[in-house]
């Protein structure tokens, strides 16, 4: 798997996620923050002035240079980190995704929405970036984190916010290799099945809802008949030796949830691990559930994006209003003041 970070926020998240990411910058200040990294590519010194259009022009003018970076990246899983509010990162997602898709790579875009009080240009950048990604949404997976929600949970502790984002992404892509053991399971999951969901295209989301108590709760999306892929993993503590009861309970649960995603690829599996947290309101601690869904119904996402669009347009309209200055001294007063 290859990790890419674009723009200051994207590069920061990429370095937290991977020891050797590919970093891409358009500003000397951003480049200097990560100069100690070997694989950092600078496309401009001045940056994009936090404007989507300026950033997009940089990528189009340097499209061959961008393509050259990934000339040997073929048939890989690629995770791209970027803020949606900055100029360079947000504007790179469409051209970068196209280049990666040309080489038959599977792409997961991990993006971060600005919070409302960042105002413009971050809000307008986010709207333009998401609009630019939509034509590729069948071919790339798009994961959105919302700083507006995260700051309510963590305040303005950006260290905790960034760690939360990285931990969620790590769970999603490394659920099997890092978070499960080789203990016996009556219903196994393999990495290729996980990859088919994570890199299956469309909006993707993650839930750790305890499914015996509630349906999966996602950031924006929800499971319905338009969902394309749904992976549900039941983690059973490694101390448990007899799994028959758990297997029966899981089968009943899958039967119930599958009716909500009647047209999806349903991928169930029982994974083994030490269970430290189950998210159960009844304090059940011998099992836990993880749900990963991709190709989620875009309607709820679009409604969220449209709200951001409306706020951005309103603020941009006020910003663009011309100040109509009028003289406040008449001719007579002007003569008197001409001392």
Q: What is the pLDDT of residues 296-335, one digit of tens each?
A: 877 767 666 676 666 656 655 554 455 455 554 566 655 5
Within its chain, how far is the Cα of 214 from the centroid?
24
Q: Considering only 3-7, 55-59, 252-256, which range has the smallest mean pLDDT?
A: 55-59
pLDDT for residue 339: 47
Mean pLDDT along residues 230-254: 95
Mean pLDDT along residues 194-211: 94
pLDDT for residue 205: 93
pLDDT for residue 337: 45
Boundaries of every domain in the chain: 2-174, 191-298
pTM of structure: 0.85
Q: What are phi and psi of 229, to 5 degrees?
A: -135, 135
Sole residue written with tokens 């910003």:
319
Task: State yes or no: pLDDT of 222 exceeds 90.
Answer: no
The predicted-structure confidence for 41-88, as pLDDT tens digits, reads as follows 887 655 555 677 777 888 888 899 999 999 999 999 999 999 888 777
Fold of 2-174: Rossmann fold (3.40.50)
Q: Where residue 118 falls among pLDDT bands split at 50, 70, 90?
A: low
The rounded distance, in Å, linking the Cα atoms of 6 and 41 is 10
Cβ atoms 50, 122 nearer than 8 A: yes
Q: Comparing C-alpha atoms, which of 110, 129, 122 is closest to residue 148? A: 122
pLDDT for residue 48: 52
Compute the Cα dihedral for 67, 73, 78, 81 and give only its sign.
negative
Strands 287-294 and 229-237 turn out to be antiparallel
The structure tokens listed for 310 are 């409306």
The rounded distance, in Å, linking the Cα atoms of 293 and 265 is 10
The rounded distance, in Å, linking the Cα atoms of 50 and 74 is 31
pLDDT for residue 123: 76
pLDDT for residue 120: 60
Which residues make Cβ contacts (< 8 Å) with residue 187, sequence separation at least 6? Answer: 247, 250, 268, 269, 270
Task: State yes or no: pLDDT of 30 exceeds 70.
Answer: no
Provide the CB-side half-sphere exposure for 300 (13 A, CA).
16
Q: Where residue 117 falls among pLDDT bands split at 50, 70, 90?
A: low
Mean pLDDT of the chain: 84
Cross-strand pairs, 268: 232
Q: Which of 12-16, 134-138, 324-328 has the highest mean pLDDT?
A: 12-16
Strands 265-273 and 202-207 turn out to be unpaired
Compute the Cα dihedral for 299, 302, 304, 306 and give only its sign.
negative
Domain spanning 191-298 has what CATH number? 3.30.1330
Distances (CA, A) of 205 to 105, 118, 156, 172, 173: 20, 24, 23, 9, 12
């Amino acid at each position: 798997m290859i990790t890419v970070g674009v723009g200051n926020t994207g590069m920061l998240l990429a370095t937290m996620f991977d020891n050797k990411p590919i970093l891409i910058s358009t500003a000397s200040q951003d480049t200097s923050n990560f100069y100690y990294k070997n694989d950092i590519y600078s496309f401009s010194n001045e940056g994009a002035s936090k404007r989507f259009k300026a950033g997009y022009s940089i990528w189009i003018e340097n499209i061959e240079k961008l393509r050259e970076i990934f000339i040997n990246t073929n048939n890989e899983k690629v995770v791209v980190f970027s803020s949606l509010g900055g100029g360079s990162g947000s504007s790179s997602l469409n051209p970068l995704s196209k280049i990666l898709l040309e080489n038959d790579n599977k792409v997961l875009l991990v993006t971060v929405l600005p919070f409302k009080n960042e105002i413009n240009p971050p809000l307008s950048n986010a709207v333009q970036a998401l609009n630019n990604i939509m034509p590729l949404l069948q071919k790339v997976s798009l994961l959105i984190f919302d700083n507006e929600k995260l700051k309510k949970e963590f305040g303005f502790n950006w260290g905790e916010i960034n760690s939360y984002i990285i931990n969620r992404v790590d769970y999603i892509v490394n659920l099997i290799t890092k978070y499960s053991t080789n203990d016996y399971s009556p219903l196994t999951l393999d990495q290729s099945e996980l990859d088919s969901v994570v890199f299956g295209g469309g909006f993707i989301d993650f839930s750790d809802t305890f499914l015996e108590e509630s349906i999966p709760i996602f950031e924006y999306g929800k499971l319905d008949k338009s969902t394309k892929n749904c992976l549900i993993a039941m983690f059973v503590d490694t101390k448990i030796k007899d799994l028959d009861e758990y297997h029966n309970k899981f089968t009943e649960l899958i039967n119930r949830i599958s009716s909500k995603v009647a047209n999806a690829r349903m991928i169930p599996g029982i994974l083994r691990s030490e269970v430290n947290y189950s998210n159960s309101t009844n304090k059940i601690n011998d099992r836990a559930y993880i749900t990963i869904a991709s190709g989620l119904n875009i309607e709820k996402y679009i409604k969220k994006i449209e709200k951001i669009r409306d706020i951005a347009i309103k603020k941009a309209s006020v910003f663009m209003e011309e100040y109509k200055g009028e003289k406040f001294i008449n001719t007579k007063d002007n003569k008197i003041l001409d001392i």
